[in-house]
Amino acid sequence: MTEETPGFDEQQPQQAAQPQQPDVPSGATPEDAEPKAAPSAEEGAARAGDAAAAAQTAGLTAQLDQVRTALGERTMDLQRLQAEYQNYRRRVERDRIAVKEIAIANLLTELLPVLDDIGRAREHGELLGGFKSVAESLETVAAKMGLQQFGKEGEPFDPTIHEALMHSYAPDVTETTCVAILQPGYRFGERTIRPARVAVAEPQPGAQTVKADEADTATTAADDKENGGPEEG
């Protein structure tokens, strides 16, 4: 019988049980030889969440820009509407005032013949008693409504506010002058309701030439007096 070598069978299982070490390149550490672990599920979820948040932020930014643009357009529309409304209010107010002035002017125009009768009665001394009180009240009301009387004797003739019904010449005027007020004129604000009807007088033909000759003669005499009299030839 063959003698068994003690310890041979025991060494074989020990060698077979040892794990096989991976080949490590020369100059590399054992850590380099270890395989890198794959990213975990939590890291992948975090990266996906960051990408989704970035995409959502970009979408919200675009929506915010659209809202700002729409807000600017609506603001401009509102400002335009406000300007149009203010212009409309001013136009309506201006038209209302114009209509009111026209109505008052028409009413005062209808009262002018009555005021003329009151004026003639006052000139003839017939404005007495109760008639005087009523006439003065009417004149006061017309004045409160803005009626103004104009036209005085001696003022220069102005064709824009005077209507000449009579014409004459006078030696004591130097320009066309109102010498008599036949009917006073009336105005309401800047509106002339009726021009003053007047008699006018103009300088006599040749009167200015005579006055000019007299002025030249007086000037020559004064110069001669200052020079010691006229020169004798």
The helix (H) or strand (E) run that includes residue 167 is strand 162-170
Q: Is the pLDDT assigned to residue 204 strictly greater than 90? A: no
How far is the C-alpha of 196 from the C-alpha of 147, rounded, in Å? 14
Report which of residues 63 and 18 the model is more confident about: 63
How far is the C-alpha of 158 from the C-alpha of 161, rounded, in Å? 6
Our CA angle for 45, 46, 50, nearest 5°, is: 115
Report which of residues 50 and 139 the model is more confident about: 139
What's residue 39's pLDDT?
A: 57
With a pLDDT cut of 90, the percent of the chain lying above it is 49
In the sheet with 177-183, reading across from the earlier edge strand, the strands are 162-170, 196-203, 177-183
Q: Is the pLDDT assigned to residue 146 strictly greater than 80? A: yes
Report which of residues 25 and 49 the model is more confident about: 49
Residue bearing tokens 């209509």: 99
What's residue 130's pLDDT?
A: 87
Our CA angle for 190, 193, 197, nearest 5°, is: 115
Mean pLDDT over each residue of the chain, to the nearest integer: 79
The model's confidence at residue 211, banded by pLDDT at 50, 70 and 90, is low
Structural tokens at position 174: 């130097």
What is the reported pTM?
Answer: 0.55
Phi, psi of 143 (to 5 degrees): -65, -40
Q: Is the pLDDT assigned to residue 2 strictly greater than 50? A: no
What's residue 37's pLDDT?
A: 52
Instruction: Look at 41-45, 91-95, 112-116, 131-135 and tell me which has the smallest mean pLDDT.
Output: 41-45
Amino acid (one-letter) located at 217: T
Which among 215, 182, 214, 211 has a CA at the least distance from the CA of 197? 182
DSSP state of 20: P
Instruction: Give the C-alpha distances (Å, rounded to integers) separating 2 from 5, 12, 24, 100.
Output: 9, 19, 43, 149
How far is the C-alpha of 41 from the C-alpha of 150, rounded, in Å? 105
Average pLDDT over residues 62-66: 88
What's residue 49's pLDDT?
A: 73
Q: Is the pLDDT assigned to residue 30 strictly greater than 90? A: no
